[in-house]
């Protein structure tokens, strides 16, 4: 069967599930779903395509209309790809605290990026997107409330998981939450078709909004009315904005979540590094956080349990974050010692002078 795709959009989804071989505790089967295999490197490519195509179908998005969205980066990158392919202008609002790689990627794909003050957190960038949409007549894709965000994960991500594990083969599914699209979209299908699967939701230890017991206030349109009082800054970009979205709240209301866990920022960073160095799996801090939660689940799970963790993105958009702060640019002392360990091909000292070549017979005759 031909593998030729009609556009880049046809490469979204069908991401691989990979077994963890060295880090998994003995007696359990631990797997990760690598959403970095999506074309723009994150799970949010699914959301981007899903919300735009749903809006095209129902007529709420007009041909050539500008799209605006508030994002920590991955949704904006996915939207920039989809908009480039489909011909929609895109304006993204993003808090200035998120990594510069993200804004550069979006601009490289043709989007405009409007930065909002870090002090205003996620709520500030959402408010700016809403204001821009109202002032200019733009289409706001509303990733935190749009039911198409949930639907695309029920239709694709959940089906891929059931295809690979069947209805009785997965004991635990572990995920973080940001918009809540992955959580709610997959969870509602697992509840229906794999009811024995325990659904574990992880959130930052410094921003355990769901576990706080404090109620999130909502506006009549489903948007969060205010910043959640339990929020504090954390390094897991894309995880847990300063509010519980309407979509994530649906999982709480419907009883989809069996266990909730907290992950500290340093543990998330450490686990992302372990995945890279022990398994060759490259993910971001959010992926490291989800995997850290999965490792805790694995420690207490029954023998022969099967656990799947979602790894939402690639590590390349974290180069300017604490994930890479101890990665050297210049040669380390150990690397310099390796360079100096051989006598000839060395770059720390001038190259030895070349020995003049002996004149050949032809050269000698030519000189006379």
Same domain for 300 and 211?
A: yes
Among 110, 91, 179, which residue's Cα sits nearest to residue 142? 179
**Is 329 among the domain residues?**
no
Secondary structure (3-state) at 309: strand
DSSP 224: B
In this prediction, residues 325-330 reach a mean pLDDT of 94
- Please indicate, yes or no, whether residues 70 and 181 belong to a single structural domain of this protein: no
- Distance in angstroms (rounded) separating the CA atoms of residues 302 and 60: 49
Residues 125 and 205 in one domain: no
pLDDT tens digits, 159-197: 999 999 999 999 999 999 999 999 999 999 999 999 999
Could you tell me which of 106, 95, 251 has the C-alpha nearest to residue 173? 251
State mean pLDDT over 80-101: 95
| pTM of the shown model | 0.90
Q: Do 55 and 30 share a structural domain?
A: no
Residue 278 is among the residues annotated as catalytic for this protein:
no
Query: If 0-12 CB within 10 Å is exposed, 13-18 middle and 19+ buried, where does residue 94 land?
Result: buried
- 29-34 and 306-311 strand pairing: parallel
Query: Is 5 one of the annotated active-site residues of the chain?
Result: no
Q: How far apart are CA 249 and CA 229, in angstroms?
A: 16
In a domain, 195, yes or no: yes
pLDDT number for residue 339: 87
Per the residue annotation, which of 36, 123, 286, 305 is the catalytic one? Answer: 286
Residue 349 lies in a domain: no
User: If 0-12 CB within 10 Å is exposed, 13-18 middle and 19+ buried, where does residue 24 land?
Assistant: middle
Which helix (H) or strand (E) element contains residue 183? helix 181-193
- Specify whether 261 is located in the same domain as 174: yes
User: What SS3 class is residue 203?
Assistant: strand
Determine, yes or no, domain membership for 337: no
Distance between CA 197 and CA 190 in Å, rounded? 7
Question: For the ranges 68-72, 185-189, 292-296, which has the lowest average pLDDT?
Answer: 68-72
CA 312 to chain centre: 4
Same domain, 240 and 282: yes
Half-sphere exposure of 44 (CA within 13 A, CB side): 27
Domain annotation covers residue 132: yes
Total domains in the fold of the chain? 2
Instruction: Please name the residues in contact with 42: beta carbons below 8 A apart, sequence gap of 6 or more.
Output: 35, 36, 74, 77, 78, 238, 312, 313, 314
CB 224 within 8 A of CB 164: no
Cα 57 to Cα 34, 61, 148, distances in angstroms: 29, 8, 11
Q: 186 and 205, same structural domain?
A: yes
In this prediction, residue 342 carries a pLDDT of: 87
φ, ψ for residue 321, nearest 5 deg? -105, 175
Residues facing 19 on adjacent strands: 31
For residue 325, what pLDDT is reported?
Answer: 94
DSSP H helices in 212-256? 246-253
Stated as kind and residue range, the H or E segment containing 75 is helix 74-86
CA distance 25 to 280: 18
Which residues are bridge partners to 95 per DSSP?
A: 116
Residue 297 burial (CB count, 10 A): 24
CATH (domain of 264): 3.40.50.1100
* Same domain (yes/no): 113, 172: no
Q: Can you give the residue range of the structural domain that contains 241?
A: 24-35+158-215+225-323
CA distance 13 to 3: 14
190: in domain: yes
Of the residues 293, 308, 323, the one at which a domain ends: 323
Considering the chain, what percentage of its residues have pLDDT values greater than 90? 86
Handedness of CA 64, 68, 69, 73 (dihedral sign): positive
- Clarify whether residues 208 and 268 are in a common domain: yes
Cα distance from N-terminal residue to C-terminal residue, the chain:
72
Specify the pLDDT at position 366.
Answer: 54
- The torsion angles phi and psi of 158, rounded to 5 degrees, stand at -60, -40
Residue 299 shares a structural domain with residue 192: yes
Mean pLDDT value of segment 331-356: 76
Query: Which one, of 141, 195, 139, lies nearest residue 167 by Cα?
Result: 195
Predicted pLDDT of residue 368: 52
Q: What is the mean pLDDT of residues 19-30?
A: 97
Please state, in angstroms and rounded to a whole number, the distance separating the CA atoms of residues 183 and 157.
10
The active-site residue out of 33, 44, 121, 128 is 44
Residue 365 placed within a domain: no
Give percent of the chain with pLDDT exceeding 70. Answer: 94
Asked if residue 208 belongs to a domain, the reply is yes
- 211 and 290 part of one domain: yes
Look at residues 112, 140, 168 and tell me which one is the last residue of a structural domain. Answer: 140
Residues 51 and 77 sit within 8 Å (Cβ to Cβ): no
Residue 46 pLDDT more than 80?
A: yes
- pLDDT band at residue 99 under the 50/70/90 scheme: confident
Please indicate, yes or no, whether residues 76 and 187 belong to a single structural domain of this protein: no
């Amino acid at each position: 069967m031909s593998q030729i795709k009609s556009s880049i959009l046809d490469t979204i989804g069908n991401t691989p599930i990979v077994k963890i071989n060295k880090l998994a505790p003995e007696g359990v089967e631990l797997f990760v779903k690598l959403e970095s295999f999506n074309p723009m490197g994150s799970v949010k490519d699914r959301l981007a395509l899903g919300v735009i195509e749903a809006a095209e179908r129902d007529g709420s998005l007009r041909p050539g209309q500008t799209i605006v969205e508030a994002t920590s980066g991955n949704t904006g990158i996915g939207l920039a790809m989809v908009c480039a392919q489909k011909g929609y202008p895109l304006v993204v609002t993003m808090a200035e605290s998120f990594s510069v790689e993200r804004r550069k990627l979006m601009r490289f794909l043709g989007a405009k990026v409007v930065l909002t003050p870090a002090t205003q957190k996620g709520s500030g960038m959402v408010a700016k997107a809403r204001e821009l949409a109202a002032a200019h007549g733009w289409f706001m894709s509303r990733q935190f409330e749009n039911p198409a965000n949930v639907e695309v994960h029920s239709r694709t991500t959940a089906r891929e998981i059931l295809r690979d594990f069947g209805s009785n083969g997965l004991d635990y599914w572990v995920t973080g939450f940001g918009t809540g699209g992955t959580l709610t979209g997959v969870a509602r299908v697992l509840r229906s078709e794999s009811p024995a699967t325990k659904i574990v939701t992880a959130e930052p230890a410094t921003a355990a909004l769901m576990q706080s017991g404090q109620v999130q206030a909502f506006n009549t349109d489903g948007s969060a009315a205010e910043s959640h009082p339990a929020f504090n800054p954390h390094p897991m970009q894309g995880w847990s904005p300063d509010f519980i979205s309407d979509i994530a709240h649906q999982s709480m209301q419907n009883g989809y979540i069996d266990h909730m866990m907290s992950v500290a920022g340093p543990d998330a960073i450490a686990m992302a590094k372990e995945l890279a160095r022990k398994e060759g799996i490259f993910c971001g801090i959010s992926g490291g956080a989800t995997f850290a939660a999965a490792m805790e689940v694995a420690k207490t799970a029954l023998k022969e349990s099967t656990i799947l963790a979602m790894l939402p993105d690639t590590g390349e958009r974290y180069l300017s974050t604490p994930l890479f702060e101890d990665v050297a640019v210049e040669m380390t002392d150990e690397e310099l010692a390796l360079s100096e360990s051989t006598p000839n091909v060395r770059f720390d000292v001038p190259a030895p002078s070349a020995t003049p070549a002996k004149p050949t017979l032809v050269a000698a005759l030519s000189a006379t």
